[in-house]
Amino acid sequence: MTILDKIVLRKKEEVALAKQAVSIQQLEAGLHFKRDPYIFKDFLLDEQRTGIIAEFKRRSPSKGIINDQVKVADVTQAYAAAGASALSVLTDVDFFGGHTNDLLEARAANEIPVLRKDFMIDEYQVVEAKALGADIILLIAAILTPEEIRNLSAVAKNLGLNVLLEVHNQQELERSICKDLDAIGVNNRNLADFTVNIQTSFDLVNQIPDNFMKISESAISAVETIKDLKTAGFNGFLIGENFMKTANPGQAMRDFAGQLISV
Ligand SMILES: O=P(O)(O)OC[C@@H](O)[C@@H](O)c1c[nH]c2ccccc12
């Protein structure tokens, strides 16, 4: 069994428990349920911003603890001030040390799009994402059938949420594309075995139809890489560890963004 299989098994239990604790009706009555999400594309294409989707990530199955000393509101505000186009907040508890409260805190502290970073397998989680104040949800092709992707993205669209589909190879991309997606992310990390290779992004970029925003995800640590990814056609760059592994992730993002201007 791969780590991804384990995560999905646990996620099914977690969703079943969440459904018992809080009903869909209760979610729909929640604080953020009626707000209009930001339009992800507008922030990615905003010339005043960097295209970086900056992630708050305490730990991961591959690296263990990355940073458990910093606060969500502090870090995400600094990311936004440094020019992030969007924020990514892990809400998975058991494998990434995240929490739904982290998303609520990031929402309250910021006025740019927030991605709920989790393993979505059920409509309930999409409704929950809206209630937590998310603007964007992630659908991971490796754990969903094409039909599930169509259904979950349609539910998200109905709620005004932006949808980011994550793929890791050409087969996943071909079978998963559907009309309700806004952005397609190429994950440079293979979630089944954690190997990373930026080349995955360069290999797949031209297979992504131009009506979708194109995002390169994971293992990005150099400004030169961003420049090359931009030239190849990417609009967005998802970065977690490179910032989070430092004592001051917001400062790390500021320094990185400063260097971007000069390359
Ligand atoms: O920390 P990195 O290597 O910069 O990667 C960030 C992000 O891409 C990664 O956390 C990620 C990409 N897809 C995911 C799916 C689930 C959990 C995490 C992820």
Distance 189 CA to ligand 1 centre (A): 8
Residue 94 tokens, joined: 């058991």
Residue 169 CA, distance from chain mean position: 18
Q: For domain 3-262, give the CATH number.
A: 3.20.20.70
State the helix-helix crossing angle for 223-232 and 249-262, rounded to 10 degrees: 60
pLDDT of residue 31: 87
* Positions marked catalytic: 55, 57, 117, 166, 187, 217-218
How many residues are given for the chain?
Answer: 263
Write down the pLDDT at residue 262.
76
Question: What's this model's pTM, rounded to 2 decimal places?
Answer: 0.98
State how far the Cα of 86 lies from the Cα of 161, in Å rounded to an integer. 14
Please tell me the predicted confidence (pLDDT) of residue 261.
Answer: 86
Q: How confident is the model at residue 198, as a pLDDT?
A: 98
- For the chain, the structural domain boundaries read 3-262
SS3 143: helix
Ligand 1 pocket test target in 189, 220, 245 with most atoms within 8 Å of CB: 189
Q: Does the beta carbon of 57 lie inside 6 Å of ligand 1?
A: yes
| ipTM for the assembly | 0.98
Residues 172-222 pLDDT 10s: 999 999 999 999 999 999 988 889 999 999 999 999 999 999 999 999 999
Indicate whether residue 218 lines ligand 1 (CB < 6 A): yes
Ligand 1: which of 4, 6, 55, 164 to mutate, most ligand atoms within 8 Å of CB? 55
Q: Which residues of the chain have pLDDT under 50?
A: none
How would DSSP label each residue in 158-214? HTT-EEEEEESSHHHHHHH--TT--EEEEESB-TTT--B-THHHHHHGGGS-TTSEE
Q: Which residue, judged by its Cα, is nearest atom 9 of ligand 1?
A: 218
Question: 186 CB less than 6 Å from ligand 1?
Answer: no
Which residue type occupies 157? K
pLDDT value for 192: 84
